[in-house]
A and B are shown apart, each in its own frame.
Chain A
Amino acid sequence: MDLTVLKFIAMGLAIGLGVIGPGLGLGLATKAIIESIARQPEAEGQISKYFYIGAGLIEACAIYALLVVILIGFVLK
């Protein structure tokens, strides 16, 4: 197979497999925050503060996958 084709396949696989974990994690975090807000609506401000920080940390994992995709596609020859 051509090397370029292999490169495209690798890029697609890297981002596709890489976002599975962060997707699951973000879903679990959202589930948890909705449950806890439904239980204690008055604490929404404090809870959502921690949620945003956690979401930023989780999102960074997906961004690492994107970084690998950029490395495969545009930097490594």
Chain B
Amino acid sequence: MEFHIGEHWTVTLLGMSVHMDTLVTLWITMAIVIFFALLLTGKTKLVPSKLQATFENIVTIFTSLTKEMGEDGKRHTPLLMSLFLLIITGNLIGQLPWKILNFFPFIKSTHGEFASPTNDINVTAALAIIVLVYYILSGVRVKGLGYFKHYFQPVWFMTPFNMLEDIVRPLTLALRLFANILAGEILIMVMAGLIASLVDINSISAFCQSTLGGILPASWIYNITIFLGSLLPLPIMFFEIFVAFIQALVFTLLTSAYISGAVKKH
């Protein structure tokens, strides 16, 4: 059984190497999010349809999340909501059967495969850096240059540790999301190939001759075993849908905690 972990379909554009598979799936994710945004903001009704009611509920959840951020906390709702929708759509898109694309010889010849865009550290690191810049800037907007006073609290020699916090926060945000999604995909890959790597046709035919006495053809037993083995990743896939939601929620909640920590008055 061979593993290809962290391999991407790399293309050189303008002297930079670009992960095309991540880019394409990220474009698809953005297209889905923008499509729903345009669909639902185009013609809003006073008596909402089912779809509109669902999305109004989502907006209400994120508005209530920003309540403890002061009187103009509503300003932060768009960032939190677009982060959540982008991450959850990106996580869930990896559960689609992208392997079907391997039937095309052009895609089969490239390294890497299509999966969640969030299984690439570059995407999650970019999101985490957006969060870092956003919470520092919103702190500066509320408190002015006085925001930077918190580096010297409670005493001046804590400054290195307070600065370390600004490095550790985006690092853990990026690593948590990336590693969770990648680990789920590796787990599904291992589960999918487990039975097929353990079973071979010779031992199955020997088993049929000796134990079953040749009443069933060995190829039947082999095919049934492979089919049942291919069902092994199914429970993991259901778990991954849950993980996709939880990780998007954790990312958004930590972002809101960082922002409210930056803008809160002492």
Listed in ascending order, the chain A residues whose CB lies under 8 Å from chain B are: 52-53, 55-57, 59-60, 63-64, 66-67, 70, 74-75
A-B pairs with beta carbons under 8 A, tally:
41
- Interface CB pairs A-B, < 8 A, 29: A52-B246, A53-B250, A53-B253, A55-B246, A56-B243, A56-B246, A56-B249, A56-B250, A57-B250, A59-B180, A59-B243, A60-B176, A60-B179, A60-B250, A63-B176, A63-B179, A64-B175, A64-B179, A66-B179, A67-B179, A67-B182, A67-B183, A70-B5, A70-B182, A74-B3, A74-B5, A74-B6, A75-B5, A75-B6
Asked if B32 is at the interface of the complex by the 8 Å CB criterion, the answer is no
Taking the nearest CB of chain A, how far is it from the CB of B122, in angstroms?
A: 16
Listed in ascending order, the chain B residues whose CB lies under 8 Å from chain A are: 3, 5-6, 175-176, 179-180, 182-183, 186, 243, 246-247, 249-250, 253
* Contacting pair A53 B249 (CB below 8 A): yes
From B253, which residue of chain A is reached at the shortest CB distance? A53
* Contacting pair B180 A60 (CB below 8 A): yes
* Contacting pair A66 B183 (CB below 8 A): yes
Cα A41 to Cα B44 with chains together (Å)? 39
Q: A64-B175, A66-B179, A67-B175 are in contact. Are A56 and B186 (CB under 8 A)?
A: no
Cα A51 to Cα B185 with chains together (Å)? 24
* Contacting pair A70 B186 (CB below 8 A): yes
Query: In the assembled complex, which residues on chain B have CB atoms less than 8 Å from the CB atom of A70?
Result: 5-6, 182, 186
Query: In the assembled complex, which residues on chain A have CB atoms less than 8 Å from the CB atom of B183?
Result: 63, 66-67
Taking the nearest CB of chain A, how far is it from the CB of B247, in angstroms?
A: 6
Taking the nearest CB of chain B, how far is it from the CB of A62, in angstroms?
A: 9
Taking the nearest CB of chain B, how far is it from the CB of A30, in angstroms?
A: 15
From A70, which residue of chain B is reached at the shortest CB distance? B5
Residue of B5, B247, B249, B250 with most partner-chain A CB within 10 A: B250
Taking the nearest CB of chain B, how far is it from the CB of A71, in angstroms?
A: 10
Query: In the assembled complex, which residues on chain A have CB atoms less than 8 Å from the CB atom of B179?
Result: 60, 63-64, 66-67
From A55, which residue of chain B is reached at the shortest CB distance? B246
Q: Pick the residue among B3, B175, B247 that contacts A56 (CB under 8 A).
A: B247
